[in-house]
Amino acid sequence: MSTTTPSDVRDLALAPEGVRRIEWADRQMPVLALIRERFAAERPL
Amino acid sequence: MRTLKAGGADVVLCASNPLSTQDDVAAGLVAEYGISVFARNGEDNDTYYSHIEAAADHRPQLTMDDGADVIGVLHAKRPEQLSEILAGTEETTTGVIRLKAMEADGTLGFPIVAVNEANTKHLFDNRYGVGQSTLDGIIRATNVLLAGSTFVVGGYGWSGRGLAERARGMGAHVTVVEVDPLRALQAVMDGFNVSTMAEAARHGDIFCTATGDKNVIRREHFGLMKDGAILSNTGHFNVEIEIPALQEMATAVTVVRPMVEQFEMPDGRRLFLLAEGRLVNLAAAEGHPASVMDMSFANQALSAEWAVKNHADLEPKVYVVPTDLDNEVARLKLASMGVEIDSLTAEQEKYLASWDEGT
């Protein structure tokens, strides 16, 4: 897997597993999801 | 990270602790979400700090810390960058202690929002998150049976009390060690045994520190402990157990399982240190469950938004999270759980605001 994002991580090949874990955690974070939706619309940062 | 990015921020991430990075998650953030990550699980101290420097090279206008190491590096090594920073936020008790010390010294270079001080953070994350994940880490590292064991908790803040309650729930006999009389009294009335560390050291099977201070378990205590005692820490830094003294006293140090080091004492006793004395919940388990981090991260995101909006009015001080943000997080969390609550009737509101109506 290649990326142009500057980074120093162990192994980018681990990404698919990491994405599954991020998505798993995300299912348990409904408040953050609401804030993320609002942020995407309002771009406060 | 994804929420900050959605909000328009250009985000760079470094580790807050050398053992806490989940390498697959770090890779996923880079490859799938295009977020710059500088973190490797098990990185040595030099790499850890070089990763903080890499994040600082990004010239942030907003910092979000977990233990205040980014803020520490910016102040110690890059004072010229301080004026570019609108504000920072801090997640942990440990970090807030450091930052309040900097404020008192007059060395704090930009305003900080102490996310840890939000009720929807410390009353939940510290209590339920630390409580559960710390036990999870101790159990994963050792497979020890808690039922019937003597479990010693150093510190009865929200983390300590969450841990003590949960250890008791698993059948342990829990002893709390405190220095604050009010907290010690609360621990007594919550039904825990309370003693000095010197006394607890003689009886404990499993020790865990949760204080934010150093050398809570130290040389004088190691000499008193039982053969087989397990030592762990869930405070942010690896200073709560006096590891240099343990290393000096030991005749041999052996890794007996992943995350478990055996220190053999001259008299033959063996003491087991978990996760090099770093926070056992992050190093030996997965940190807090996402459901409770939902609230902490919501506070982080809302605090970042608030700090950016209000930075012109803020001074280089440690601020608490505004109450309306805190309440908003609780309201959203309840709604997400499908829990409805009552509101006051007009009559009740009036009663609470008046003083002339008695019996």
Residue A5 belongs to a domain:
no
Give the separation between CA B259 and CA B142, rounded to whole angstroms.
8
Here the CATH number for the domain that contains residue B213 is 3.40.50.720
The whole domain housing B180 covers 127-283
B179 & B46 share domain: no
- Residue B90 forms part of a structural domain: yes
Q: Which of A41, A45, A39 is nearest to B63 (CA)?
A: A45
Q: Is 80 exceeded by the pLDDT of residue B270?
A: yes
Contacts of B297 in chain A (CB under 8 A): 29, 32
Does residue B261 lie within any of the structural domains?
yes
Q: In this complex, do B28 and A43 lie within 8 Å of one another by their Cβ atoms?
A: no
Residues B35 and B51 in one domain: yes
Is there a contact between B28 and A18 if contact means CB atoms under 8 Å apart? yes
Q: What is the pLDDT of residues B36-64, one digit of tens each?
A: 999 999 999 999 999 999 999 999 999 99
Distances B86 to B92, B124, B150, B196, B309 between C-alpha atoms, Å: 20, 28, 48, 44, 10
Task: Tell me, yes or no, whether B71 and B107 share the same domain.
Answer: yes
Strand-pairing partners, residue B318, are B112
Answer with the one of B258, B283, B308 that is the final residue of a domain.
B283
Which chain B residue lies closest to A11 (C-alpha atoms)? Answer: B27
Judge whether B236 and B211 are in contact, CB under 8 Å.
no
The pLDDT value recorded for residue B358 is: 74
Q: How far is B92 from chain A (nearest CA, A)?
A: 19
Please state the rounded mean pLDDT for residues A14-39: 96
Task: Answer with the residue of higher pLDDT: A11 or B236.
Answer: A11
Please indicate whether, in this complex, the C-beta atoms of B333 and A31 are within 8 angstroms of each other.
Answer: yes
- What mean pLDDT comes out for the span B185-204? 98
Residue B343 lies in a domain: no
Residue B89, both tokens: 């936020």
**Distances from the Cα of B285 to the Cαs of A41, B201, B224, B258, in angstroms?**
36, 25, 29, 12
Nearest to A5 among B35, B308, B309 (CB): B35
Instruction: Specify the number of domains making up chain A.
Output: 1
Asked whether residue B90 falls in the same domain as residue B158, the answer is no
**Contact with chain A for residue B115, Cβ under 8 A:** no
Residue A2 lies in a domain: no
- pLDDT tens-digit map of B295-352: 999 999 999 999 999 999 999 999 999 999 999 999 999 999 999 999 999 999 999 9
* b/e burial code for range B264-289 (CB count within 10 A of at least 16 → b): ebeeeebbbbbbebbbbbbbbbbbbb
B14 and B94 in a single domain? The answer is yes
Please check whether residue A30 lies inside any domain of the structure. Answer: yes
Residue with tokens 């908003």: B328
pLDDT tens per residue, range B62-86 = 999 999 999 999 999 999 999 999 9
Does B358 reside within a domain? no
Surface-to-core class of residue B126, CB atoms within 10 Å of its CB (0-12 exposed, 13-18 middle, 19+ buried): buried
Closest CA to B296 of A32, A13, A1: A32
Helix, coil or strand: residue B262? strand
B276 and B131 fall within a common domain: yes
Q: Are residues B102 and B136 in the same domain?
A: no
B111 three-class SS:
coil
Side-chain half-sphere CA neighbours of B311 within 13 A: 20
Number of H helices, E strands in chain B: 16, 14
Residue B93, C-beta contacts closer than 8 angstroms, at least 6 positions apart: B116, B122, B126, B157, B159, B212, B235, B236
Q: Which residue has the higher pLDDT, B358 or A28?
A: A28
Q: Do the strands B270-274 and B260-264 form a parallel or antiparallel pair, or are they unpaired?
A: antiparallel
The Cα–Cα gap between B300 and B293 comes to 10
Per the structure, the complete domain to which residue A21 belongs is given by 12-42
Provide the token pair at B165.
């309650």
* Domain match, B41 and B174 both: no
d(CA B136, CA B222): 24
Share of chain B above pLDDT 70, in %: 100
Element (H, E) at B88: strand B87-90
B103 and B174 co-located in one domain: no
Percent of chain B with pLDDT over 90: 94
pLDDT of residue B19: 84
Please judge whether B39 and A12 are an interchain contact, meaning their C-beta atoms are less than 8 angstroms apart: no
- The CATH code of the domain that includes B310 is 3.40.50.1480
For the cut 60, the answer to whether the pLDDT of residue B260 exceeds it is yes
Tell whether B153 is covered by a domain.
yes
Tell whether the model's pLDDT for residue B28 goes beyond 70: yes
Look at residue A37 and tell me if it is in a domain.
Answer: yes
Selection from B255, B216, B282 nearest residue B15 by Cα: B282
The shortest CB-CB distance from A10 to any of B23, B31, B336 is to: B23
Residue B356 lies in a domain: no
Nearest CA to CA, how far is B50 from chain A (Å)? Answer: 11
Is B341 part of any domain?
no
Residue the block writes with tokens 């929807």: B120
Please check whether residues B144 and B248 belong to one and the same domain.
yes
- Residues on chain A bordering chain B, Cβ-to-Cβ distance under 8 angstroms: 1, 3, 5-19, 21-22, 24-32, 34-37, 39-40, 42-45
Q: Is residue B345 part of a domain?
A: no
Q: Given phi > 0 = left and psi -120 to 50 = alpha, else beta, which region is B66? A: beta
Q: Are residues B111 and B135 in the same domain?
A: no
Interface test with A, best of B12, B13, B20, B25 (most A CBs within 10 A): B25
With respect to residue A1, please indicate whether it lies within any of the assigned structural domains. Answer: no
Contact yes or no for A9 and B23 at CB 8 A: yes
Is there a domain that residue A6 lies in?
A: no
The residue type at B203: H
Residue A3 belongs to a domain: no
Provide the domain count of chain B. 2
Highest mean pLDDT among B117-131, B144-158, B278-292: B144-158
Q: Are residues B276 and B311 in the same domain?
A: no
Query: Looking at B14-23, B191-200, B202-211, B222-231, which range is the least confident one?
Result: B14-23
For B203-220, the pLDDT digits (tens) are 999 999 999 999 999 999
- Answer whether residue A22 is part of any domain: yes
pLDDT at A3: 60
B64-85 burial, b for 16+ CB within 10 Å, e for fewer? bbbbbbbbbbbbeebeebeeeb
Residue A4 has pLDDT above 90, yes or no: no
Quote the tokens at residue B320. Answer: 């608490």
Give B189's pLDDT tier (boundaries 50, 70, 90).
very high
Q: How far is Cα B12 from Cα B23, in angstroms, rounded to an integer?
A: 16
Closest residue of chain B to A39, computed from CA coordinates: B7
Spatial separation of the C-alpha atoms in residues B329 and B239, rounded to whole Å: 33
